[in-house]
Each structure stands twice: as C-alpha cells, then as structure tokens.
C-alpha cells in the first residue's frame, strides 16, 4: 500500500510547489508521511463538511485546492474552526494536502478543467503565461466549436458547472455572438485587462466586483463578462486531479481509491429576488 509520502511525491510531480505564488501556502498541512494511504478525497475547501465527508467515507487523505492556513498560525487549538478541523483530521489519521496556485498554473491545471466544463474545444493556451514556462500560466483561452449568442453560451456554461445558489451573472449584450472565450478559475479580477488585451469575446471567472466590472463594460468593444460562483469554477479540476493521481499511481502498480466531494462549499447558499421599483 502506498504511503502518504508516495502520494505527496506523485501530487507534487504534477503540481510543483515551486510554482506557487510567494504568498501562498501549499503542500502537506497534516499527516504522517509514513502512514498508509488507500482512499483520497478531493475537495475545493478545507471546511467541516468536507472533514465529515472524509470521515464517513474512511478517507486517509484529503486533497483540497484552498489552503487551511494561508497566513500562518501560532495555535491549532480546537477553539477555532480551523483548529477543530486539524483535530478531527489528526484524531482520525486523515492527512490534508493543498495544491492551490501551483495547481492554477499547472498544465493541465484548474482553468483547463473549467474550460472543458463550459464547452471549450480544441487547444487551450494560458491567458497569462508563466514567465519561466509559457505552456503553463493563469487562465486559459479556447474556442467554442461554433459562434453562439452570449445568452446561449451562458446557459451552456451554467449546465456544465455544478449548481450553486447564485448561478451565473452575465454582463454584455445577450444576443452578441461569441466564440473565443477566456476562463480563469477562482477570483479573476486581476486578469480583466489581460482578457481585454487577448481580444476574446467573453471572460468567465468568479468574484468580480462592481467597480472593476462596471469600468470594464464601459469600454463597449471589450469582452462580455460572466461571473460564476468561486467554488463552481474550481470544482471541475477535482475530477481531473483525482483521475491523474489514480492513473499515474496505477502505472506504478499502486492502487488508490479517489473520490470527488460533491458537498457544495460555496459561501453563498441562497438568494432572494428583489422587488421591482414600481
Ligand atoms: Zn479559489
């Protein structure tokens, strides 16, 4: 049976920790490298519901996209939800591993899975290539098989992503035909100017705020915007990461069981329609 160290080596060969941003915190959060690992749960967020799922399933390791401790800590006492999570995991011999910005820029990475989920076909190239290797980078640019109205693309994208309370928000002429699309999993504010410079028809990402989006749309010749739930834009990567880990392990004669969490851990869990002004 593989050890946690074997699995970490495999994951880091695909998601090199050196690719992570300097502010990020990736890699093994808890777990004994010599522990045996058979069942691995993949999830976006290291939160209590995911720890419960890991416990119920009998997971030995949880791989999450988001870090548990991004800014460091001086205590893992079970007096905070983070400390409680660490206690739950350690008491039950469950490791926690994070692949965050190193998975964003990997090839294939988080945005490749997002691009496929929303229907992009053919080759994908990074929206913002990494300086050291232009085959990797943030975001992806690809195309739809044929041009479709923006509203139709948004409907397809919504069908391709896991359901969340907020669904998708669209900025732009719904009837405008679109084909070349840029996507970026997670918060994509910082890539707005890059998406405009890339000359795409649509930029699909998450966490877009009023002012950057409003100013972006004032330039009428720019891309339309689609804002999805943060969790939903990163969730498609989980199946990709799980598949590659299982197949790379199998090629070495190692059998691991993987599972993708279907617990919706997006922060927004319901919506309310506003009344008309009239
Ligand atoms: Zn994220």
pLDDT tens for 10-25 read 999 999 999 999 999 9
> What does the pLDDT read at residue 277?
75
Counted residue by residue, the chain has a size of: 278
166 neighbors 232 (Cβ within 8 angstroms): no
Q: Classify residue 237 as exposed, middle or buried by CB count within 10 Å of its CB (0-12, 13-18, 19+).
A: buried
Cross-strand bridge partners of residue 40? 61, 258
Distance 187 CA to ligand 1 centre (A): 7
pLDDT digits (tens, 9 = 90+) for 206-236: 999 999 999 999 986 899 999 999 999 999 9
Query: pLDDT at residue 188 above 90?
Result: yes
Q: What percent of the chain has a predicted confidence (pLDDT) above 70? A: 99
Q: Encode 3-14: b = buried (16+ Cβ within 10 Å), e = exposed.
A: ebebbbebbbeb
Q: What local confidence, expressed as pLDDT, does residue 273 receive?
A: 86
CA of 238 to the centre of ligand 1 (A): 12
Using one digit for the tens of pLDDT, what is the confidence trace for 111-170? 999 999 999 999 999 999 999 999 999 999 999 999 999 999 999 999 999 999 999 999
Dist CA 122 CA 8 (whole Å)? 31
- Please compute the mean of the pLDDT values over residues 237-242 and round it to a whole number: 98
Asked whether 175 and 201 are in contact (CB, 8 A), the reply is no
Q: Which residues are 64's β-sheet partners?
A: 43, 98
Q: From ligand 1's centre to the CA of 175, what distance in Å?
A: 30
Task: Tell how far the Cα of 253 is from the centroid of ligand 1, in angstroms.
Answer: 33
Ligand 1 geometric centre to CA of 129 (Å): 19
pLDDT for 199 beyond 90: yes
Look at residue 274 and tell me whether its pLDDT is greater than 90.
no
Q: What is the distance between the alpha carbons of residues 62 and 145, in angstroms, rounded to a whole number?
A: 36
Average pLDDT of 163-189?
A: 97
- The position carrying tokens 């998975």 is 103
CA distances to 45, 59, 106, 121 from 264, rounded to whole Å, are 9, 18, 24, 27
**DSSP H helical segments within 127-229, as ranges?**
150-160, 192-198, 210-218
When the pLDDT of each residue in the chain is averaged and rounded to a whole number, the result is 96
Global model pTM greater than 0.85:
yes
Q: In angstroms, what is the span from residue 231 Cα to ligand 1's centroid? A: 7
What is the C-alpha to C-alpha distance for residues 85 and 91, in angstroms, rounded to an integer?
10
Summarised one tens digit per residue, pLDDT across range 245-258 is: 999 999 999 999 99
Q: Is the pLDDT of residue 266 over 90?
A: yes
Mean pLDDT score, 73-87:
97
Distance from the alpha carbon of residue 276 to the mean position of ligand 1, in angstroms: 34
Average pLDDT over residues 185-196: 97
Confidence of residue 276 (pLDDT cuts 50, 70, 90): confident
């Amino acid at each position: 049976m593989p050890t946690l160290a074997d699995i970490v080596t495999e994951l880091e060969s695909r998601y090199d920790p050196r690719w992570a941003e300097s502010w990020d915190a990736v890699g093994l959060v808890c777990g004994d490298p010599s522990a045996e690992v058979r069942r691995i749960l993949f999830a976006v967020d290291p939160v209590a519901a995911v720890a419960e799922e890991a416990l119920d399933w009998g997971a030995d390791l949880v791989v999450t996209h988001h870090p548990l401790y991004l800014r460091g800590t001086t205590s893992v006492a079970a007096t905070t939800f983070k400390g409680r999570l660490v206690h739950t995991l350690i008491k039950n011999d469950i490791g926690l591993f994070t692949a965050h910005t190193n998975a964003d820029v990997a090839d294939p990475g988080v945005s490749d899975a997002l691009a496929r989920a929303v229907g992009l076909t053919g080759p994908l190239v990074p929206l913002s290539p990494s300086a050291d290797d232009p085959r990797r980078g943030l975001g992806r640019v690809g195309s739809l098989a044929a041009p479709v109205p923006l509203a139709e693309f948004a409907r397809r994208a919504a069908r391709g992503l896991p359901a969340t309370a907020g669904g998708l928000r669209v900025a732009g002429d719904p009837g405008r035909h679109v084909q070349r699309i840029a996507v970026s999993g997670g918060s994509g504010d910082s890539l707005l100017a890059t998406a405009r410079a890339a000359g795409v028809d649509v930029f699909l990402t998450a966490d877009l705020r009023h002012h950057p989006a409003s100013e972006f749309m004032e330039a009428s010749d720019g891309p339309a915007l689609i804002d999805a739930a943060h969790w939903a834009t990163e969730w498609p990567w989980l199946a990709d990461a799980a598949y590659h880990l299982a197949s790379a392990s199998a090629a070495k004669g190692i059998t691991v069981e993987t599972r993708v969490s279907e617990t919706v851990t997006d922060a927004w869990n319901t919506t309310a329609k506003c009344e008309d002004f009239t």
